Chain A
Amino acid sequence: MTMASPLLQVRNLVVEFPTRRGALTAVDDVSFDIAEGEVLGVVGESGAGKSLTGAAIIGLLEPPGRVASGEIILEGRRIDTLSYEQMRRIRGKQIGAIFQDPLTSLNPLYSVGRQLTETILTHTDMTPTKARDRAIELLTEVGIPAPERRIDQYPHQFSGGMRQRVVIALALCVNPRLVVADEPTTALDVSIQAQIIALLKKLCREHGTAIMLVTHDMGVIAETADRVAVMYAGRIAEIGPVREVIKNAKHPYTHGLMGSIPAVGHDAERLEQIPGSMPRLTDIPTGCAFNRRCLHVHERCFKDRPDALPVEDSRVACWLYDSANAMSLDEAKRAVASKETGSVEQANV
C-alpha cells in the first residue's frame, strides 16, 4: 500500500498537564503517520502516554490536560485547533473510537438500536427506516447473532464480548476513515479477545479503515498491527514494521520488553528483566528517558535526548544508531541483543 499523503499525520505532539508544581509533560514530542487502511499499534506500559496520544487525536483529552504544541492533521486538515463542536462532528464522521470498557461507551438507558440509528441519523441524511436497516446490517457485520431481535435490547442484556461488538458497530456507523481503539480487548476474556481481534482485522481489510490500536499487550499487536510504535515515558522509543519491532527489536527498551514476555514453548528458568521501573512524569531524567535502566548507556545518553534515527525500515530513538557513532549498524544491533553493558557503568538510581 503506497499512499501519496498519509491519512493521519501527528507532528511533534506535546500533551501537558498543568499542576501546582509546574506542567507535567505526559506526551513529549511524538510524531507518526497512519496510512489509509493501516493498523498502527501503539504499545507501552501504563503511564507511557499511549492512551493520551489517542485521546489527543480524537479530541477527548480530559482537562486539565491539553495539547501544548505540535500538529494533528487528518486528511490534510489540521484538527488539533478545532473547537469542541467541530471536533464532535469529526468524531462522528471521520474518526471512530473504541474504548476499553464497553459499558462506559454505551448509554444504559437506550436500546442498542436506538443508539446506533441516532448516530447514523446525526451524521447522514438517511431516513429512520433506512438507518434501522443499516444498524441491523452493522450488527450482522460485527457478528451479533439474530440482530433483528437483539437490536431492541439494552446494553445490560449483552455479554461483555457482545457489548464490545456493539461498540465497534457504533464506531463504524458512518464509515470513518480512522478508528482509535484504546485497549479494546483488555477487559475481555482470552477466547473473546481472539474473536474481537479477528473482527477488527476483518473490518479493516474490508472497509479500508485505518486503526490506531492502543494497547499494553504485545500479543494483540503481533496479531493485528502492520506497524507498531513503542512508547516510553511519553516518547516514542521505536516505530517500525511490526515484524521488525517484535522479532528484531532495535531499541534497548523494546528488546528488554520483548524478552520479559513469557511465552508458551520458551523454556527459561528466569525471564529477562529490565531493572527498575518507568520514571514518574515528575522525574524524567535529562537526555534519554531510558538512561537509568539501559544496559548500553553512554555518556551522551545523560546529556542529549536521542533523535528518532532511521534504522532500516524503522525509526529508533537511541544514540547507538547515530551515524556519528563509532559503531556500525550491525555492531549496534549485536550490542542490543547481547547483555554486555555499555561504556558507562549503569547508573544506580
Chain B
Amino acid sequence: MADARMPTPAPGSVAVPTARPGLADGVHRFFDSDVWFSFKRSPITIGAAAVTLLYFVMAVFGPWIAPHDPFDLAKLDLLDSLIPPAWMADGEARFPLGTDDQGRDLLSAIIYGSRVSLVIGFASVLLSMVIGIGLGLISGFVGGAIDAFIMRMAEIQLSFPAILVALLINGVIIGYFKTHPEWQVDQVTLAYVVLVLSIGLSNWVQYARTVRGSTLVERNKEYVQAAHVIGIHPAMIMWRHILPNVMGPVLVIATIQLALAVITEATLSFLGVGVPPTEPSLGTLIRVGNDYLFSGEWWVTIFPGAALAILVLAVNLLGDWLRDALNPKLR
C-alpha cells in the first residue's frame, strides 16, 4: 500500500478486532462501520430513512392504521363522493384528505395504495435482481460467446425505453393468460403477476451490466485463482467467492430501482394496464383523480401524487447516500 493511502484505512479496519461470534458481532460491526457513521452525519439521509420507514409501516400495518377500508364496496356510499379535505369549507372530519368519486376515503386509499405499490415494487426489483445478477455473473465469469450473447441481448433491450418493454411484456403475458384459461387466475392476482413480470423483466439489464463488470475484476483476482488451484467447481467459485464481492453496487442499484419500479407501476396503472380501480395502487389513484383535476376536485389526484413523489424521493435519496457511502473513492 502506498504511504499516501495509509491513513485512510479500509472500512472497519480501524475497528478493534474482537472475536465476538455470530449476530452480536455482526450488529457490533455494523454500528462500528463507516456506513453507519456517514448515515449519522447526514440529516437528509436520516429524514429519507424515516419517511421510507413510515411508508413501510403504513404498508405493513395498513388495515390497522387506515380509518376506512376502501376495498370494501359494501361500506362505500356514493353520497360521500368528492368531499373536499377536512380543513376546507365542505370538508368532513371523517375524511381528513377528502374522498374520491366513489366516496372512498383518500387517506385510506393512499395507505392501501402505497401497500400495493411497494409490494409490486419489491417483487419486481427482486425478480430483476435475480435475473440480472445471474446473467451478469455467468456473462462475466464464463466470457466468450455466452458473454457476447447476453450482453447483446442487454443492449437490444436497452435501446428501447423501459416502459415500452414493460408494456410489450405486459401485452404478451395478458395475451397468454387469455388464450390459456386453464390457469384460472382472478383479475387482481393476474394484474399483480403481470406487473411484477413486466417491470422485473424490463429492468434486469442494469444489474447484469454492473455485476458483469465487477465479476470481470474479481475473476482475475488471486483469491479466485487460489480457489481454482484448489480445484473448487467453477459454479461454487461464482456462488461463494465472487457473488458476495459483487453485491455492494447491486444493493445501491436495487434501492434506486425500487423507486423506479414504483414509478413504472404507477405509470402502467396510470395508462390503464396496471391494477384495476377496485384495488387501487398509487398510480391508479392518480389516474382516476386526473379526470377531476380540471373540475375543481384537485385533491383526488394531488394527494396520491404527492404521496408517490415523497416515497420515490425518499428512496432515491437513500440510494444516493448508499452509493456514496459504499464508494471508497468518495469517502
Question: Which residues on A are within 8 Å of B, measured CB to CB?
Answer: 17, 19-21, 24, 26, 46-52, 55, 62, 65, 100, 281-282
Contacts and interface: CB of A to CB of B under 8 A. Distances in A.
Nearest to A17: B7
Contact of A51 (B4, B14, B37): B4
B6 A47 contact: yes
B162 to A, nearest CB: 35
Which of the listed residues B2, B6, B7 has the most CB atoms from chain A within 10 Å of its own CB? B7
A199 to B, nearest CB: 23
B4 A55 contact: yes
A17 B2 contact: no
B7 A46 contact: no
Contacts, number: 35
27 contacts: A17-B7, A17-B8, A19-B8, A19-B14, A20-B37, A21-B14, A24-B7, A26-B6, A26-B7, A46-B2, A46-B3, A46-B6, A47-B3, A47-B6, A48-B3, A49-B3, A50-B3, A51-B2, A51-B3, A51-B4, A52-B3, A52-B4, A52-B6, A52-B7, A55-B4, A65-B4, A281-B6
A100 B2 contact: yes
B14 A65 contact: no
Contacts of A47: 1, 3, 6
Nearest to A23: B7
B7 A65 contact: yes
A19 B6 CA distance: 12
B181 to A, nearest CB: 63
A19 B12 CA distance: 12
> Most chain-A CB neighbours within 10 Å: which of B2, B6, B8?
B6
B34 to A, nearest CB: 8
Contacts of A52: 3-4, 6-7
Contacts of B37: 20
A46 B14 contact: no
Nearest to A281: B7
B28 to A, nearest CB: 15
Contacts of A26: 6-7
Contacts of A282: 14
B290 to A, nearest CB: 49
A51 B7 CA distance: 12
Q: Which 10 A-B pairs have the closest CB atoms?
A: A51-B3, A17-B7, A47-B6, A26-B7, A24-B7, A51-B4, A46-B1, A52-B3, A20-B37, A282-B14
A194 B198 CA distance: 63
B3 A62 contact: no
Interface string B189-217: 00000000000000000000000000000
Contacts of A100: 2
A281 B6 CA distance: 9
Contacts of A20: 37
Contacts of B3: 46-52
A188 to B, nearest CB: 16
Contacts of B4: 51-52, 55, 62, 65
A47 B6 CA distance: 6
A26 B1 CA distance: 14
A173 to B, nearest CB: 24
A17 B9 CA distance: 11
A21 B37 CA distance: 11
Given A19-B14, A46-B2, A52-B6, 20 more contacts: A17-B8, A19-B8, A20-B37, A21-B14, A24-B7, A26-B6, A26-B7, A46-B1, A46-B3, A47-B3, A47-B6, A48-B3, A49-B3, A51-B3, A51-B4, A52-B3, A55-B4, A62-B4, A100-B2, A281-B6
A46 B7 CA distance: 11
B2 to A, nearest CB: 6
Nearest to A26: B7
B251 to A, nearest CB: 23
A26 B3 CA distance: 9
A340 B199 CA distance: 74
Nearest to B1: A46
Contacts of B6: 26, 46-47, 52, 281
Nearest to A282: B14
A219 B2 CA distance: 19
Nearest to B8: A17
B71 to A, nearest CB: 49
A28 B8 CA distance: 17
Interface string B29-42: 00000000100000
A52 B7 CA distance: 10
Nearest to B34: A20
Interface string B252-287: 000000000000000000000000000000000000
Contacts of A17: 7-8
Nearest to A214: B3
B121 to A, nearest CB: 34
A62 to B, nearest CB: 6
A52 B3 CA distance: 7
A197 to B, nearest CB: 20
B41 to A, nearest CB: 9
A100 B1 CA distance: 13
Contacts of B2: 46, 51, 100
A46 B6 CA distance: 8
Interface in B1-22: 1-4, 6-8, 14
